[in-house]
């Protein structure tokens, strides 16, 4: 829970009215602002129970109150008053018990009414993440990139107009106030260290499925370089991938074909493989459901609004506005090991795109129209379509791009033996 709160897009405010001891207090540390009633008590009692602090509190606590206070509270394990929590900086303010929730809600309302949601989300990630930076230059690089991006947004025009008119701003990105993403994780801040200076870990962390692109064209030499470099990916010596890149007039023609085909056959065509197993069991079914619901919450599309959900899905076949698309096909004689090679190649492509400052969205949905795509790409009979991919530059103002899909924690999928 602590890490999910840390990754949240939204500000998180805590209102403590009672005893917050053990996990009751550690879970609040990644929250941004803590208010408490005069009746509240706190305690990091782990040492008195023969255990150690948990929920990543060893990282958060010293950043909130300083090392000396953090160590004192953890060493002694004593329960302390709300007044001490206020004096040491753990809480922002104290309130009478019946005034606590109104005060917390008033603070949340002040933020929601006056601040652009995207600016708040980015500010939250900048300040939390830079708490662990080794040099202020890291912050300078990130906040320079953030302000350059936000400086082109409609929120800036509205903010200036509201200031001049002495009025409350109505943020053009205000629809994002309904994006309940605190349980799904926040979008990673893109590293400005692009090109040769980008680390592999930064490329992995900043890669995400972008579902809204700018119309800015992609340089043809760049995509050729990426695809060529990616051929070093593990391929079992067979290198079984075959790639088609589509853009310009060809892409416009394909979009027209797909508009008609999706209208004619919204359920797709005869599948050549199952994108997901037909009997998808827990935990895989739950993970898929969680990501899908998180996306539609971001877009403020309820489950019962089937029409809008289908319309959003249909955006796949317009590549979410991307100027370039990639399709991967494979010889039908290849088996599961070679299909895993395709995944390694495509992952390498997506990471190299990040190095070039580009974004992508892998789209297996194209596999539900294999006959239409096979005809358009002139695939020979021995090859079948595997997947598509949209490629371009992320639109930072696209609501769907604020989602960072949750991932299972390490202990859920990894076992360590002998280490």
Domain end among 159, 178, 197: 178
- Residues near 148 by Cβ (< 8 Å), separated by ≥ 6? none
Report the CATH number that the domain containing residue 396 is assigned in CATH. 3.40.109.10
pLDDT of residue 343: 95
Q: Are 321 and 392 in contact (CB under 8 A)?
A: yes
Dihedral angle sign, alpha carbons of residues 87, 90, 96, 97: negative
pLDDT of residue 165: 66
Distances (CA, A) of 108 to 34, 123, 177, 296: 12, 16, 12, 24
Report the CATH number that the domain containing residue 121 is assigned in CATH. 1.10.12.10
pLDDT of residue 419: 92
The answer to whether residues 266 and 131 belong to one domain is no
**Which residue range forms the structural domain that includes residue 12?**
2-108
The answer to whether residues 104 and 126 belong to one domain is no
Scored b (16 or more CB within 10 A) or e, 63-80 reads ebbeeebbeebbeeeebb
In a domain, 199, yes or no: no
φ/ψ region of 185 (left if φ > 0, alpha if ψ in -120 to 50, else beta) reads left
The answer to whether residues 103 and 127 belong to one domain is no
Angle at 166 between CA 162 and CA 171, to 5 degrees: 25
- Residues near 331 by Cβ (< 8 Å), separated by ≥ 6? 240, 242, 338, 382, 383
The DSSP H or E segment spanning 60 is: helix 57-65
The answer to whether residues 297 and 323 belong to one domain is yes
The answer to whether residues 98 and 121 belong to one domain is no
- Residues near 54 by Cβ (< 8 Å), separated by ≥ 6? 23, 26, 46
Q: Is the pTM of this model over 0.75?
A: no
The answer to whether residues 280 and 345 belong to one domain is yes
Q: Which of 274, 196, 218 is nearest to 393 (CA)?
A: 218
Please list the pLDDT of the chain residue by residue as tens digits (419 residues): 888 888 888 899 999 999 999 999 999 999 999 999 999 999 999 999 999 999 999 999 999 999 999 999 999 999 999 999 999 999 999 999 999 999 999 999 898 888 888 888 888 888 888 887 778 888 888 888 878 777 777 777 667 776 666 666 655 554 333 333 332 233 344 433 344 467 898 899 889 999 999 999 999 999 999 999 999 998 778 999 999 999 999 999 999 999 999 999 999 999 999 999 988 999 999 999 999 988 988 888 988 999 999 999 999 999 999 999 999 999 999 999 999 999 999 999 999 999 999 999 999 999 999 999 999 999 999 999 999 999 999 998 888 998 888 888 899 999 999 99
pLDDT of residue 117: 84
Q: Are 160 and 376 in contact (CB under 8 A)?
A: no
Q: How many domains does the chain have?
A: 3
The answer to whether residues 94 and 119 belong to one domain is no
pLDDT of residue 168: 61
Q: Are 182 and 10 in contact (CB under 8 A)?
A: yes
In a domain, 196, yes or no: no
pLDDT of residue 319: 97
pLDDT of residue 182: 31
The pair of structure tokens assigned to 261 is 């085909």
Q: Where are the beta strands (DSSP E) in 255-345?
A: 324-331
In a domain, 416, yes or no: no
- Residues near 235 by Cβ (< 8 Å), separated by ≥ 6? 241, 341, 344, 345
In a domain, 184, yes or no: no
Domain end among 108, 124, 151: 108
Domain end among 79, 108, 137: 108
The answer to whether residues 97 and 145 belong to one domain is no
Place of tokens 């990091």: 44
In a domain, 172, yes or no: yes
The answer to whether residues 240 and 99 belong to one domain is no
pLDDT of residue 164: 67
In a domain, 24, yes or no: yes
Give the span between the Cα atoms of 355 and 167, in whole angstroms.
42
In a domain, 161, yes or no: yes
How many Cβ atoms are within 10 Å of 242's Cβ, its own excluded? Answer: 17
Report the CATH number that the domain containing residue 57 is assigned in CATH. 3.90.226.10
The answer to whether residues 75 and 155 belong to one domain is no
Q: Where are the beta strands (DSSP E) in 224-275?
A: 241-247
The answer to whether residues 350 and 250 belong to one domain is yes
In a domain, 38, yes or no: yes
- Residues near 194 by Cβ (< 8 Å), separated by ≥ 6? 354, 355, 356, 357
Phi, psi of 387 (to 5 degrees): -160, 170
The answer to whether residues 306 and 392 belong to one domain is yes
């Amino acid at each position: 829970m602590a890490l999910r709160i840390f990754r949240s897009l939204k500000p998180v405010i805590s209102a403590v009215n009672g005893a917050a001891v053990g996990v009751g207090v550690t879970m609040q540390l990644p929250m941004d602002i803590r208010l408490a009633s005069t009746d509240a008590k706190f305690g990091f009692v782990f040492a008195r129970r023969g255990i150690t602090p948990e929920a990543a509190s060893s990282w958060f606590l010293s950043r909130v109150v300083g090392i000396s206070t953090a160590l004192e509270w953890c060493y002694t394990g004593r329960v302390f008053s709300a007044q001490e929590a206020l004096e040491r900086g753990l809480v922002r303010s104290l309130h009478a018990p019946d005034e606590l929730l109104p005060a917390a809600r008033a603070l949340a309302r002040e933020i929601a009414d006056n601040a652009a949601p995207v600016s708040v989300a980015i500010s939250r990630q900048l300040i939390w993440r830079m708490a662990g930076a080794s040099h202020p230059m890291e912050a300078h690089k990130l906040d320079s990139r953030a302000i350059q991006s936000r400086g082109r947004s409609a929120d800036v025009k509205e903010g200036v107009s509201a200031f001049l008119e002495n009025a409350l701003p109505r943020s053009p990105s205000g629809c994002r106030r309904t994006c309940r993403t605190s349980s799904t994780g926040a979008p990673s801040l893109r590293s400005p260290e692009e090109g040769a200076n980008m680390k592999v870990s930064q490329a992995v962390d900043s890669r995400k499925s972008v579902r809204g692109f700018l119309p800015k064209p992609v340089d043809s030499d760049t995509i050729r370089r990426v695809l060529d470099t990616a051929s070093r990916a593990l391929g079992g010596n067979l290198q079984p991938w075959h790639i088609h890149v589509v853009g310009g007039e060809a892409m416009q023609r394909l979009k027209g074909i797909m508009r008609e085909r999706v209208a004619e056959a919204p359920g797709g065509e005869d599948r050549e493989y199952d994108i997901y197993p037909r009997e998808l069991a827990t935990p895989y079914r739950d993970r898929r459901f969680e990501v899908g619901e998180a996306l539609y919450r971001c877009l403020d599309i309820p489950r019962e609004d089937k029409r809008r959900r289908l319309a959003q899905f249909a955006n796949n076949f317009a590549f979410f506005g991307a100027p370039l698309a990639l399709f991967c096909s494979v010889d039908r004689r290849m088996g599961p090991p070679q299909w895993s090679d395709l995944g390694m190649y495509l992952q390498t492509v997506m990471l190299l795109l990040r190095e070039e400052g580009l974004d992508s969205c892998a789209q297996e949905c194209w596999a539900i129209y294999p006959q239409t795509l096979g005809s358009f790409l002139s695939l020979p009979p021995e090859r079948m379509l595997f997947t598509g991919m949209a490629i371009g530059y992320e639109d930072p103002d696209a609501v769907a791009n604020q989602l960072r899909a949750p991932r299972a924690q390490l202990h859920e999928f990894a076992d360590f033996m002998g280490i």
